[in-house]
A and B are shown apart, each in its own frame.
Chain A
Amino acid sequence: MSTFRKRFLANKTAVFCSVLLLLLCLMAALAPVLAPHDPTQMFQEHRMEGSSGDFMLGTDQFGRDLLSRIIYGARVSLVVGVSAVLVSVVFGTLFGLIAGYFGRWVDGFIMRCMDVLFAFPEILLALAIVAALGPGTFNTIMAIGIVNIPIFTRTVRGAVLSIKNLEYVESARAIGASTKRILFLEIFPNVTAPLLVQSSLAISGAILTESALSFLGLGIQPPDPSWGGMISEARRYMELAPGMIIWPCLAMTVTILACNMFGDAVRDILDPRHRGK
């Protein structure tokens, strides 16, 4: 692991992106301290204004402070992105481990189920799930999470297949370790790396899916600010108040870029063939 750390620290992109992501998380955590206003408070006299001393990024159609909404929006968007991916990772890993380790009909059954989920058009599936469960942050997270389970199942299964017959797993089995032990203590640690890469990419995907659901009217419930919700709301005011769409887009872009670049960098670090010069 220490070589990983060394390589990680030597990779400028990885370091830069992780600092950026940490800062974003910090912003989300400290939202009540950082935000100059209550993100839902409407200043009637200041609707759709440009930036000013009091409202650094201007206000929206209700006269709510955009800066505060973006800061709080980091909370909503990151929570949705990370939790949705956690849902996918937990179920995906479980299914992937089981499928890969047991093989045969278990594998066949799980993978066919994943194929079913995978072949279902993603956004329509998410939309139908939210419509069935009813709106709400938790349900949105579940919907996005369920949609992404197959990707993780495949990633983990592939990794399991490639290591399951390696020596150390064999020897663990030979000394009579329980299946659970082998799965979680011997095999799982070795699939964390591809999972990390996949997760960082999936988080950005989840944030985008939330915004698409917002566009279709089924994202995070107002007045809670999510970046996707802000963007889809601001679309109607694009010409009247461009700031309303520019700032949340910028926030989203930075986050997604950081997630993607981080994922790519970690992949490069882990993959010896891609190691930088």
Chain B
Amino acid sequence: MRKRVLAGFFLSLSLMLTACSGGGGTAAPADQAKPQEGQAQEQSAAKTELVVAAEQEPVGYDPHKVPAASSVRVYALLYDSLTKLDENMNIVPNLAEKWEIAPDGKTITMFLHKGVKFHNGKDMTADDVKFSFERIMNPDTGAIAKSYFASVEAIEVKDPTTVVFKLKTADAAFIANTASAYASIVPSGSTDLTKDAIGTGPFKLEKSEPGQYVLLKKNPDYFNKDLPKVETIKFQIMKDEAERLAAIRSGKIDISTISADSAKLLEGKPGVQVKNYQSLEYSYLGINVNKKPFDNPKVREAISYAVDRNQIVQTVWKGEAALTGPIAPAITNWALDTASYPTYKTDVEKAKQLLAEAGFPNGFETQIETAATYPDMVETAQVIQQQLKAIGINAKINQLEWGNYIEVWKSKDMNLMVGRNTSGVDADRSMRFFFASTGSANVWNYSNPAYDELVQKALGTVDQAERKKLYEQAQTMLVADAPNLFLASPKNYYAVRDNIDFTPTAAGEVYSLVKTSIK
């Protein structure tokens, strides 16, 4: 009944609308879904433009300087890296056709793809590669990827298509790190990449209209002749999930990320398909191991036993997430099965007992910091707050605006903090960058010499089986020490219009967008 009243209300409104809009509309309002806006290219029989919803506005396109995901999804289409990932998380050739690693692991020779041109027509050569890496390693650039290539001693240009990287120590993560978009190859001599983006990538930056859209045009000289398959990609900025949902339903956009809740709504609806993949992200509860009472390992263990990770999976992610350790389960090469972690079996009694042993039989008061920008973090904090209540820990939630949240994160002075990380493709990033004593994302003051030694040794170990064993030890150690509780690794959802052939994978949106075609 209510539905009918509502429908009547909208029918009358919509009639008003069609009447007012000067006859453009037809009798059946549903027909309005078809583009009739009079734009020539939209009306032509074959659609060649892909419209992708962007949740956040890109903040610049310098691949060495801007790590924001909203920017990466755009500039990774403009630039190429030496290597890339395929959907099975294997490293495959990209600008580098092949590579050789010397037996001692200290010399890596990259053979470049021949005949690759930048968007300005210049050839991409070994000089550009040398320039790009030196730009990344120059402290004045402030590049994110600088820490990735700390082992590099020298870069030599052997001939226009051969580059040799000389390393100080063997670095098993080196090749994987060259796949990062942060290590994109830019033309030699570039200084300011904020405005002009000249890469070798499958698309060229055509226009960026702040607050509205970013338009990319196909690069006809792309070195892989079969790609890309669409003429243009338009990233349409739509910040509100409800808006994106409404837009994809009515066919105004072709591809959009959506939440697990929205996925449920769209499932089985005509015109739209819902696709998902297990992401490389995981949510965590960060614990400041310097702060009382969290400096006591028993308190951290108690918290780990008290938190029911399955409830988080069910409530926050509606069941569409996997339990995770320090390395997201999608990275099957490295991730340890979560069944092997004893503290993952929720045990409130044991938690209470541990807390009593630590000297807090009646619990204590504390704070959980979380970011208001991400509803899943706020929800996770609320679930954890309830679960901690059961063992007498009363936590107050501080829901912070993003800039403020980053500030608290940086301060290394929080108590508990809910957040989300992206596991790097190589285990080194997930383990060393986030948790080694000197790791720049280790804001938890966690410092365990045994752990540091283990991950450092793993980095220098070229033998894969041996390396894997070391990381397994490190993962077990980390979960037991609990500077973070690793909570859940969600599936990422996309809503895709029926006529679009788009298959998202863990290799990332860019990998799929390049191959996307319009039926």
Is A in direct contact with B (CB under 8 Å) within the complex?
Answer: yes
Q: Which residues of A are interface residues toward B (Cβ below 8 A)?
A: 40-42, 44, 47, 61-63, 131, 134-136, 216-218, 221-223, 233, 235-240
Decide if B404 is an interface residue (CB 8 Å cutoff).
yes
User: A135-B398, A221-B399 in contact; A236/B315 too (CB < 8 A)?
Assistant: no
Q: Which of B297-326 contact A (CB under 8 A)?
A: 311, 314-315
Query: Chain A contacts of B383 at CB under 8 A?
Result: 42, 62
Contacts of A218 on B, CB cut-off 8 Å? 372, 399, 401
Q: Would you list which residues of chain B between 366 and 416 have a CB under 8 Å from chain A? A: 372-373, 375, 378-379, 381-383, 385-386, 396-401, 403-404
Bound Cα distance A216, B400 (Å): 11
Interface residues of B (CB under 8 A from A): 241-242, 259, 261, 264-265, 311, 314-315, 372-373, 375, 378-379, 381-383, 385-386, 396-401, 403-404
| 29 A-B pairs with C-beta separation under 8 A | A41-B386, A42-B383, A42-B386, A44-B315, A61-B315, A62-B315, A62-B379, A62-B383, A63-B315, A131-B401, A134-B398, A134-B404, A135-B372, A135-B399, A217-B372, A217-B373, A217-B401, A218-B401, A221-B396, A221-B397, A221-B399, A222-B381, A222-B382, A222-B399, A223-B385, A233-B375, A236-B259, A239-B265, A240-B264
The 9 closest A-B pairs by CB, nearest first: A217-B372, A223-B382, A42-B386, A222-B382, A131-B401, A221-B399, A222-B397, A239-B265, A221-B397
Contacts of B398 in A (CB 8 A): 134-136, 221
CA distance A216 to B259 in the complex (A): 19
A123: min CB distance to chain B, Å? 14
A239 and B311 alpha carbons, distance in the complex (Å): 23
Q: How far is the CA of A61 from the CA of B396 in the complex (A)?
A: 20
Give chain A residues whose Cβ lies under 8 Å from the Cβ of B265: 239-240
A61 to B404, CA, bound (A): 27
Contact A238 B381 (CB under 8 A): no
Most A Cβ at <10 Å: residue of B241, B379, B386: B386
**Interfacial chain B residues near A216, Cβ < 8 Å:** 372
Q: Which of A44, A135, A237 contacts B400 (CB 8 A)?
A: A135
* Residue of A63, A218, A236, A237 contacting most chain B CB atoms (<10 Å): A236
Quick check: A236 and B261 within 8 Å, CB to CB?
Answer: yes
Per the bound structure, the CA–CA distance linking A71 and B315 in Å amounts to 24
Shortest Cβ distance from B393 into chain A, in angstroms? 14
Chain B residue with the shortest CB-CB distance to A130: B401
Contact B399 A217 (CB under 8 A): yes
Tell me the smallest distance from the CB of A132 to a CB of chain B, in Å: 9
- Which residues on A sit within 8 Å (CB–CB) of B372? 135, 216-218
Report the Cα distance A44→B311, complex, angstroms. Answer: 8
A236/B396 contact (C-beta < 8 A), A222-B378, A222-B381 known: no
- Contact check: which of A42, A135, A217, A238 meets B242 at CB < 8 Å? A238
Name the residue of chain B whose CB is nearest to the CB of A235: B242
Q: Residue B314 contacts which of A41, A44, A233 (CB distance < 8 angstroms)? A: A44
- Which residues from chain A contact B241 at a C-beta distance below 8 Å? 236
Chain A positions within 8 Å of B375 at CB level = 233, 236
Contact B400 A62 (CB under 8 A): no
Q: Report yes or no: A62 in contact with B382, Cβ–Cβ below 8 A.
A: yes
Least CB distance, B240 to chain A, in whole angstroms: 9
* Residues of chain B contacted by A62 (CB below 8 angstroms): 315, 379, 382-383, 386
Whether the Cβ atoms of A131 and B242 lie closer than 8 Å is no
Contact A236/B242 with A131-B401, A131-B404 known, Cβ cut-off 8 Å? yes
Taking a contact as CB atoms under 8 Å apart, the answer to whether B381 and A42 are in contact is no
Q: Report chain B residues within 8 Å CB of A222.
A: 378, 381-382, 397, 399
| Cβ–Cβ < 8 Å partners of A61 in chain B | 315, 379
Give the CA-CA distance A86 to B6 in the complex, in Å: 39
- Shortest distance between the CB of B464 and any CB in chain A (Å): 42
Known: A217-B372, A221-B396. A240 touches B261 (CB 8 A): yes
A44-B311, A62-B383, A217-B399 are known contacts; what are 8 more A-B pairs with Cβ within 8 Å?
A42-B315, A61-B315, A131-B404, A134-B398, A135-B398, A223-B385, A223-B386, A238-B242
Q: How far is the CA of A11 from the CA of B72 in the complex (A)?
A: 64
With a CB–CB cut-off of 8 A, which chain A residues contact B403? Answer: 131
How far, in angstroms, from A218 to B399 measured CA to CA in the complex?
Answer: 7
CB distance from A270 to the nearest CB of B (A): 38
Q: How far is the CA of A131 from the CA of B379 in the complex (A)?
A: 21
B314: nearest residue on chain A (CB-CB)? Answer: A44
**Bound Cα distance from A247 to B218, whole angstroms:** 50
How many angstroms between the C-alpha atoms of A232 and B401 in the bound complex? 16
Tell me, in angstroms, the Cα distance from A235 to B221 when the chains sit together.
46
A238 nearest in chain B by CB position = B242
Measured in the bound complex, the distance between the Cα atoms of B134 and A116 in whole Å is: 51
Find chain A residues with CB under 8 A from B311 CB: 44
By beta carbon, the residue of chain B nearest A232 is B375
Q: Tell me how far the C-beta of A221 lies from the nearest C-beta in chain B, rounded to whole angstroms.
A: 5
Q: How far is the CA of A216 from the CA of B240 in the complex (A)?
A: 11
Minimum CB–CB distance from A76 to chain B (whole Å) comes to 14
Chain B residues near A131 (CB-CB < 8 A): 401, 403-404
Q: Which residues of A contact B404 (CB under 8 A)?
A: 131, 134
Indicate if the CB atoms of A223 and B373 lie closer than 8 Å.
Answer: no
Whole-angstrom distance between the Cβ of A203 and the nearest chain B Cβ: 24
Chain B contacts of A63 at CB under 8 A?
315
Q: Which residues of A contact B314 (CB under 8 A)?
A: 44, 47
* B397 and A223 contact, CB distance less than 8 A: yes
The answer on a CB contact under 8 Å between B386 and A40 is yes
> A222–B241 Cα gap in the complex (Å)?
21
Within 8 Å CB of B373, what residues of A? 217
B494: min CB distance to chain A, Å: 18
How far is A236 from B399 in the complex, measured between Cα atoms in Å? 18
**Which chain A residue has the least Cβ–Cβ distance from B245?**
A239
Residue of B nearest to A229 (CB): B399
CB distance from B9 to the nearest CB of A (A): 15
Cα-based distance from A223 to B383 in the complex (angstroms): 9
Docked Cα-Cα span, A221 to B311, in Å, equals: 22
Whole-angstrom distance between the Cβ of A32 and the nearest chain B Cβ: 17
Write the nearest CB–CB distance from B243 to chain A, whole angstroms: 11
- Give chain B nearest CB distance to A126 CB in angstroms: 13
- Complex: A178 Cα to B261 Cα, angstroms: 66
Q: Which residues of A sit under 8 angstroms from B401, Cβ to Cβ? A: 131, 135, 217-218
CB distance from B490 to the nearest CB of A (A): 15
Distance in angstroms from B423 CB to nearest chain A CB is: 26
Measured between C-beta atoms, what is the minimum distance from B19 to chain A in Å? 28
* CA of A134 to CA of B408, assembled, Å: 11
* Complex CA distance for A123 and B415, rounded to whole angstroms: 31
**Cβ contact within 8 Å between B261 and A237:** yes
Please measure, in the bound complex, the distance between the C-alpha atom of A131 and the C-alpha atom of B400, giving whole angstroms.
8
Contacts of A223 in B (CB 8 A): 382, 385-386, 397
In whole angstroms, how far apart are the Cα atoms of A18 and B25 in the complex? 49
Q: B98 to chain A: closest CB distance in Å?
A: 48
Contacts of B261 in A (CB 8 A): 236-237, 240
